[in-house]
Structure 1
Amino acid sequence: MFFPVARLRLLASLLLAPVLVASRDQSLFTSSVTYCAPPESLLVEQFDIAYYAKNQSIVFNISAASVDPNTNVNANLFLNVYGMQPINVSIDICSLFGGALCPLPLYTFNGSDSISLPQSLNIQSRFPTIAYSIPDLEAFAQLTLTDVKTGDVKACVQTTLSNGWSTHQYGVEWATASIAILALAVAIWQSVTQGDCALAPIRFVDTISLFQTIALSGLLSLNFPSLYRSYTLNFAWAMGLFSASTTSSIQQSINRMRHLTGGDPSNSGGNGAIDFVNRKLSPYNSQTLVLPESLSRLVEAPSVALDFVKSFFPYALTTKDPHVLVGGDVATVTQDSSNVLQAGIPIYTNSIGIATANAFMTILFIGLILAAILLASLALVYGATVLLCRTELARRYPEIHGFRSRYPSFARAWGLRGAMVSSLPILVFAFYQWTLKDSWLSVLLSVLVLIALMAIVLPDVFFATRASISKGKWSGLEAPAWVAPLTSPYRPNRVYYVIPLLVVMVIKALVTAFAHGHGTAQIIIFVVLEFLFLLSTIALKPHRTRGADILAGYLCITRLVSSGLMIAFAESLAVKPIPRVAIGAIVAVIFSVAVVVMFLNILVNMGLWRLLIFAFTCGRRGRGVDHATLASQSSDASMVEQGNYAGTSKGLEEKDSATVDSATVDTTKSQDFPGRPNNPTPPSTASFSPKSLPSATSSTTLGETLPRRWSFQHSRPPSISTDGPYSPAYTYRTSTASSPISGQRHSRNISSSVPTPLDEHHEYEKYEARAV
C-alpha cells in the first residue's frame, strides 16, 4: 500500500515537474504587499495584479485611497529581479490625463477587471521566458510617490512577484512522509519477527535523521535563495513543525499561554514570512529599503496610448469614504522596523505560519501527541499478545510466547528510538527558546523536557557503551536488550561510536540556537564537524558490514559537500543572487539523491528485490529442493546489509540443536555478528559412544547440502583396506560441510581461532583398545 503511493508521488515531484511547468499558463502575479515607508498620502487595502503572457493581459483587484489633499507627486516604478533592475523609471504624474492626477485627487479606488495591454508596450521583451518557469522567483516591484516640491516620500509600496512555482510542494511533503511511514512499518515488522538486531529499525532512524538534517540546514542564519529555503520546508514535519494558521486551535492556545506568562503579544503573528523578510535577503536582494527620498532624475512617460486606462477609470474611481480608509492588513516594513524577520529560525517558522516564539511549544505539543500514540500502540500490542498466548495459535507458533517474554525490552527499545528521533528538534528549539526571553512558562517547560530527555537517553548510552569503552570491571558485560537501537548498528567493540554521534548533534543544536545572527560562524562549524565525523567513520569503520559503512560514509559526504556549498550563502560574502540560486539548486539535488537512496534501501530491506528477481526470471532462478532449507535460512544474508542483522532467535537455535543428531555440529552464536545465520562447527569431543560411531560399511552425512557454487571439492576418502579393518569411513568427516572461514564471509573480522576437525581414527582406536 505504501510503496505505490510513495513511488508515484516521488516520481511526480522529481521527474514530471518540467512537463507540468510547460502545461501551465505563463503568468506573474503579486504574492505580498507591504509599505516600505509609513503611509501618508496613499492607503492600500488590497493590491492583487496578475500578468498573463499568452494574451498580454492584466487581471487586477485593487483597493486603495488617496487621503492627503493638495499633493502633487511624481511616481517611480522600480523592478528588482535577482538583484538586477530591468525597470527603473520615474514618471511625471502631472503630465498624465491632462493633469487630472495633479494634485492627487481624494479618491477611493475599488476595482477589479481584466484588460489587454497594447502591443506598443512590448512587455514580453522586459521578462525572459525563464521568469515564468523558475521556481520561487525572486522579484519585487516598488512604487514610490514623492512630493514634487520637497521630494519627501508620500507613499511607498512594495509587492513581491511570483510565477506560481515553488520547490515547497504538498506532494513532496506527502512523498517524504510516506517514505517515513513505510520505513516505520517495515521497522516494526522486522523488530517483531527478527528480534532486536533487525536492520529495518536502524534504517528508519537513519531516514528520519536525513530528513532532519535537511530541515536543520534551513534553520541556519544564512541568506538562502528562496528556492532552497522552500525546499527545506518540505521536511519541516521531521522537526515537528507542521503548517498552521493563526486561527488554528494550537497556535491560539500557545498565544494565550504566552500572553498570560509574560510573553510579547506582538510576536504572535504567523501570517507568512515574505512580507517581513529583511530586504537585504532573498527574495528582495536589495541593499536599501527604499529609494532615495529625492528623485533628481525624471524621465518622460512612455510614449504609449493610455486610452485603455481611461476606459475603466470612470467606473473604478469613487468618492472618498472615510469608513473604508483603514489601511487594511498591509504591514509597514522599514529599516527601523522591529518586525523584520532575520535569516534562520524566524523566517523558517513564519514561512509555515508558526510565530517564532511559538516554535518550541508547537514542537512540545506535537511530541506529547506522538508520545501518547506510541504508548497507546505499545499497550495495544501487549494486550493483543497476551490474548494470542491463550489461544490455540500460540501452541502451533511458540514464537508468540517468545515475543511476549521479550516484550519489555521491545517496548523500551522503541521508546528509546522515539527519544532518539525527537532529540534534535527538542534540543534546537529548547535552546533557542532561552534566547528569546519571552515566556517564563515556556522556558520552564523547555528545561523539564531536556531533563526528561537526558534521563531517557544518557543511562541507555552508558549501558550500551560501557563494555566497549572500558577494559576494567565492565569488560565482558553484555548490553541489555533494550539498548539495541544503540548497539545493533555497530560492532561490539565500536559501540562507543554513539558518543561522538551525540556530541555532534548537541553541538549542532547549540550553534543553531545560540549563534543565530552569525551565519558564517554557524556554517564553518558545521563543515568542521562533518569533516571530523567523516574521518572518524573512515578510520573506525564502526558498522557491522562494509555496506553499512559505505552507506554511512555516503551520508557523511553528502552532509559535508552540502555544508561546504552553503558557505556561499553567508551574507558577508555577498554572492550575487543568480549564483546563489544555482548553488541552492545543486544542494537540493544532492539531498534529493540521498533521499532516493534511502528510499531504495528501504525497498531492499523489505525484500522486494527478491520479488523482482522472481518476476523477471519467471521463477527459474530458484534453488533446488536439495538446498531449500539452507536458502530459507540465508536468503536475507544475500543482500547488502540485511544478512548481517537478520539473525536467528534463541528459539530457532534450540530447534536446530534439537533436530541435529548428538554427534552432529554444535551451533554457537557469533560474538561479532549476533544476527548472522548459524555456521556449523566440528563435533565436540566431550562424549563418544559406540552407538554414535559409524560402521565400516556405512557413511553419515551431516549438515545440509550446499548449493553447487558454494560447495567444496573434497579429496577421495581412503579405502577400508588401506586404513585397516577398523577404520571408519572417511565420509564421517563431512560434518564440516561449510567451512568456518567461508561461513564468516560476511563478517568483518574472521575469527582467528578456527576450530579444527577431530581425529576420528585416533578416538576410535582408543575406544577399541578399551573394548579389548
Structure 2
Amino acid sequence: MKSSGFFSPLLLLLSFLSLLAPASAIRLIESKSLNTCQDNSSLTARLFNVVFTPDNLTMTFDIVAVSSIQGNVTFGIEVTAYGLAILHETLDPCTSPDLNGLCPMVAGQLDIPSNLKLDQDTVNRIPGIAYGVPDLDANVKVLINSTSNPNVSLACVEASLSNGKTVDQKGVGWATAVVAGLALVASAVTSGLGHSNTATHVASNALSLFGYFQAQAIVGLTAIPLPPIVQSWTQNFDWSMGIIEVDFMQSIATWYQKSTGGTPATLLNTLATTSVQVEKRSLTSMVKRTARLMARAPALLKRSSDDFDSASGTYIVKGMKRVAFRAEIESTNLFLTGLIFFCVFIFFTILFVALFKAGCEFAVKREWMRSDRFQEFRNGWLTVLKGIMFRMVLIGYPQMTILCMWEFTQNDSPAEIILGVFFFFGMTGTLVWAATKVILIARRSVNMHNNPAYILYSDPSALNKWGFLYVQFRASAYYFIVPMLLYILIKGMFIALAQNSGTLQAAALVVIEAVALVGSSVLRPWMDKPTNSFNISICAVNFVNAVFLLIFAGVFDQPGLVTGVVGVVFFVLNAAFSLVLLILVLIATIYAFIRKNPDARYQPVADDRASFIKSQTQLTTELDALGATARGDGKEGFKQLDLEGDDDSWSSDPAHHPLPSSNSNSTYRDPPRSPVDPSLPLFPAGGHAPSPYRDDHSGPYPESRPNSDIPLMNQGNRGSPSPYGRGLPNNSTSNLSAYRMQNNASPAFRSKNNASPWQRGAGYE
C-alpha cells in the first residue's frame, strides 16, 4: 500500500510524460548491466542481459559472471523506483526449480542462460505505471547471503531497469533543429528585403534559442550521475554540439585516427560480450561511492580503452563518453565527429549564400524579380558572407571549445591534437579580434559623434562584418559580447577539463550561471524589453538547472526519492520552457515570412539605430551626398576610420588615429560638429543666404573639400552663395537641371562618380 500511495499523486504526471515515448505492444522491464554495490564483492558480472515480460510471467536472463562464493546461499532481491522500495523478495536456489544450478554455488565462471517463471502475486505487486513511464528510474539490488550465516553478505550487485520507453526521440531533435534553422533563414531573408528591425529580433531570438539548446546538451556532457530521464532529455540536443551519428562518417573518423597514429576504441563492437555501465544515480551511500571513486581514480584518468572497472567487471561511461555511447559513437571519434559537422555546417552555409546570390541575379535577368529586390545583398554579398561566417563561428564556439579542450586530455592521435589547437585558438582569436574591432569602432563613434550607434549602424562595412556581435544588444551595451565570450570559454573549460569530478563541475556551473543571471538582470543589455525578458528567462532556467545538477551530484546527501523527483521536475521544466521558446520563435518566423511589413510588429529600438540603417537606401542622390557632407561622413572620413577594407589590424586604436585639428582641411573639427549651420534653412528661398562652409561671409569658398562627394561644376564662379557647393550660380535653374541630368544620366555613371558614402565598404564600389 505504501508504494501505491507514492505513485498515485504522480500517476497523472507520469502518464502525460509517457506520451512522449513511442507506444509498445509488449510490456517489459529489462536491464543490460550489472554493477557491484559492495566493496570486496565475491561476484562480478561481465555480461548481464535480463528481460522481464509480465504478460507471460517470464524473466529471461543471460549472465556471464565470475564468483568466488562456495556453498549454499540465498538471494535477497529489492526493487526500487525513484528511490522508493516497491518490491522485496528472498529466493532460495535450493527450493526453486529454476535455480537448481546455483545450489550450491561453486567458485569460477558462471554462465547462466535461463528463463525464470514468476508467480502472479509477485507480478501484481509491480505498479502498472512502471511499464509506461518513459526512462524509468528503477533499480534492482541483489544481496547474496550465506545460508549458514545470514547476517554476512557475500556479494552485492545492482542493475538499472528500463521499460524500453524514453524521451530521447529523434523527432524532438529534428523539430528543434528545423525551427532554429528556419528562424536564422527568416532573419537573413527579411534583412535582404530591408526589414532590419524584424531581422534583428528574429536573429537575436534564434541565436538565444540555439544557445539554450546547447546549454541543455552541456548538462548531458557533465560527469555528474544523472537520472535516466535527464540523460535522455539532454540527449535530444546533442545535435547542437555536432554529436550526430552517421555510419560512413564514423568509418572516416576511425580510418583517420588509425592513419595518424591513434588507437580507436572498440567498445560498441563488444556489447555482445561486455557489460557497459552508464553511470547514473546509485543507491549506495555517498561515502562508500566516493571511497570507491578515489580508489580507482588512476584508472579513470586514462583513455576510454582503459575504462574497464575490474571491481565490477564492467566498462563505465560517464560525462562526454556517456553521451557518445548513447549516440552510438565511439568515444575516440567524438572530437572528429563534432569537428566534421561544424565544417559541413560552414560549407553548406557558404554554398547556400552563393546559390542564393546566383539565383537572385538569374531571376532579375529573366525579370522574374524586381531589380531592387535584395539589391544591397547582391551588390555587397561578399561582405555579407564574411559577416555570416563570423556568425557561424560564434554559434559553433561553445561546441568547439568543449570538444577541442577535451581532445587535449584524450590525445586520440597527434593529428587530432593539431586540429584541436588550430580550431580552438583560431576561433578564439577570430572572435577576440572581432570583439576588439567592435569596441574600437564604438569608441571612435562616441568620440566623434557622442553616440556609439552612429558608426556601428551607419557604416555598412562595420554592420555587415561585425554586426553579429552587437546588433542583439542596445548600442550602449556593445561591449557585452566580451562577457558572453568569457562565459562560453570558462563554462567550456570546466565541462571539458573536469570530466573526472562531477561535483566540481556542478559547483562551478552554479557560480557561472548565477553570475550570468545577475549580470543580465542588472545590466539588461539586449535591445529592448521583450528581448531582455527572453534572454533573462533563459539565464534563470540555466541557473535552476545548475542547482539541479548540484542535487544530482549528491552534495546534499539527500534520499533517493528526492533525486528521482528532482529529475522528473528537471524534465518537465525544461520541456515546457523549450516548448514556449519554440512557439515564440516559430510565430516570429512565420510573421517575418507572411507579413508585408513585418517591422510593424516591433517597436523601434530606443538607440535610434533604424535612422542610421535606413539612411543607407532611402535618400535620393543629391540628399544622400548632402547628408553625408553635412554629417562629416565623406569618403575620406570613412577611410580615416579604417572601416572599409580588409586591412583592419590589431593596432586600430583611437589613440593611433587622433581627430584632425582645427587647422586641417578635414571636415571634422574638435569638438566634432556638423558643418551645416542649424539656424539656416536647408533649401534657402533666395540666393543671398551666406554659405555655411565659408570661414566668413565675404571670403571665397575653401579651395579643397576632401570629404565632399558633390561634383563641382563651373569652377570659376566662386561667389555662389548656395550652401550645396560653388558650382551653381544664383537663381541658375539651367545649371541645376544640368547637374541633376548629369547625376541621373545612368546607374553606371552614378556608381562610378557619385557612389553613396553610406554604401562604401560593402561591395558597392
For the superposition of Structure 1 and Structure 2, which TM-score range results when normalised by the shorter chain?
0.5 to 0.7
Answer with 235-244 or 417-426: which moved more: 235-244
Partner of 1:238: 240
Structure 2 matches for 1:241-280, cutoff 5 A?
A: 241-243=243-245, 248-266=247-265, 268-269=267-268, 275-277=275-277
* Aligned partner of residue 573 in structure 1, secondary structure: coil
Deviation at 1:242, TM superposition (A): 1.7
The verdict on how the C-alpha distance between 1:112 and 1:178 changes in structure 2, with shifts beyond 3 A counting, is farther
Q: 2:477 aligns with which of 494, 507, 518?
A: 494
The verdict on how the C-alpha distance between 1:492 and 1:445 changes in structure 2, with shifts beyond 3 A counting, is same
Contact 2:140 2:161 in 1 (8 A): yes
Contact 2:20 2:134 in 1 (8 A): no
Partner of 1:686: 682
Cα distance between partner residues in 2 of 1:99 and 1:353: 35
Contact 1:205 1:417 in 2 (8 A): no
Partner of 2:400: 426
Q: Which runs of 5+ in 2 are unaligned?
A: 1-12, 290-306, 457-461, 634-677, 688-765
Partner of 1:571: 554
Deviation at 1:268, TM superposition (A): 5.0
Partner of 2:193: 193
Contact 1:272 1:353 in 2 (8 A): no
Cα distance between partner residues in 2 of 1:14 and 1:143: 27
Deviation at 1:337, TM superposition (A): 5.5
Partner of 2:619: 654
In the superposition, the TM-score normalised over structure 1's length comes to: 0.65
Cα distance between partner residues in 2 of 1:460 and 1:542: 19
The verdict on how the C-alpha distance between 1:542 and 1:560 changes in structure 2, with shifts beyond 3 A counting, is same
Alignment pair present for 1:340 and 2:316: yes
Contact 1:277 1:347 in 2 (8 A): no
Contact 1:137 1:283 in 2 (8 A): no
Contact 1:548 1:641 in 2 (8 A): no
The verdict on how the C-alpha distance between 1:477 and 1:170 changes in structure 2, with shifts beyond 3 A counting, is closer
Alignment pair present for 1:543 and 2:526: yes
Alignment pair present for 1:526 and 2:491: no
Alignment pair present for 1:442 and 2:405: no
The verdict on how the C-alpha distance between 1:332 and 1:449 changes in structure 2, with shifts beyond 3 A counting, is closer
The verdict on how the C-alpha distance between 1:498 and 1:388 changes in structure 2, with shifts beyond 3 A counting, is same
The verdict on how the C-alpha distance between 1:25 and 1:355 changes in structure 2, with shifts beyond 3 A counting, is same
Structure 2 matches for 1:645-724, cutoff 5 A?
A: 649-650=614-615, 652-654=617-619, 685-689=681-685
Deviation at 1:517, TM superposition (A): 2.7
Q: What whole-Å deviation, never above 9, does each CA across 1:510-532 have from its counterpart, x for those lacking one? A: 11112223333323332222232
The verdict on how the C-alpha distance between 1:384 and 1:158 changes in structure 2, with shifts beyond 3 A counting, is same
Deviation at 1:459, TM superposition (A): 2.4
Cα distance between partner residues in 1 of 2:221 and 2:423: 21
Contact 1:267 1:357 in 2 (8 A): no
Partner of 1:559: 542
Q: Which runs of 5+ in 1 are unaligned?
A: 1-12, 290-330, 615-631, 670-681, 692-772
The verdict on how the C-alpha distance between 1:15 and 1:493 changes in structure 2, with shifts beyond 3 A counting, is farther
Partner of 1:636: 599
Contact 2:63 2:112 in 1 (8 A): yes
Letter in 1 for 2:336: M
* Aligned partner of residue 213 in structure 1, secondary structure: helix
Contact 2:434 2:466 in 1 (8 A): yes
Cα distance between partner residues in 1 of 2:22 and 2:400: 42
Partner of 2:377: 403
Cα distance between partner residues in 2 of 1:192 and 1:76: 71
The verdict on how the C-alpha distance between 1:657 and 1:222 changes in structure 2, with shifts beyond 3 A counting, is farther
Root-mean-square deviation (CA, aligned residues, Å) is: 4.7
Structure 2 matches for 1:251-650, cutoff 5 A?
A: 251-266=250-265, 268-269=267-268, 275-277=275-277, 281-282=280-281, 334-335=310-311, 339-342=315-318, 344-393=319-368, 396-469=370-443, 478=456, 479-606=462-589, 608=591, 636-639=599-602, 649-650=614-615
Cα distance between partner residues in 1 of 2:519 and 2:64: 65
The verdict on how the C-alpha distance between 1:388 and 1:264 changes in structure 2, with shifts beyond 3 A counting, is same
Contact 1:530 1:560 in 2 (8 A): yes
Cα distance between partner residues in 1 of 2:213 and 2:373: 35
The verdict on how the C-alpha distance between 1:514 and 1:652 changes in structure 2, with shifts beyond 3 A counting, is same
Contact 2:34 2:277 in 1 (8 A): no
Letter in 2 for 1:211: F
Alignment pair present for 1:133 and 2:129: no
- How many equivalent pairs are there? 588
Deviation at 1:501, TM superposition (A): 0.7
Cα distance between partner residues in 2 of 1:42 and 1:453: 47
The verdict on how the C-alpha distance between 1:668 and 1:524 changes in structure 2, with shifts beyond 3 A counting, is farther
Partner of 1:621: none
The verdict on how the C-alpha distance between 1:391 and 1:96 changes in structure 2, with shifts beyond 3 A counting, is closer
Contact 1:637 1:646 in 2 (8 A): no
Cα distance between partner residues in 2 of 1:384 and 1:377: 10
Answer with 27-36 or 149-158: which moved more: 149-158
In the superposition, the TM-score normalised over structure 2's length comes to: 0.65
Cα distance between partner residues in 2 of 1:586 and 1:565: 9
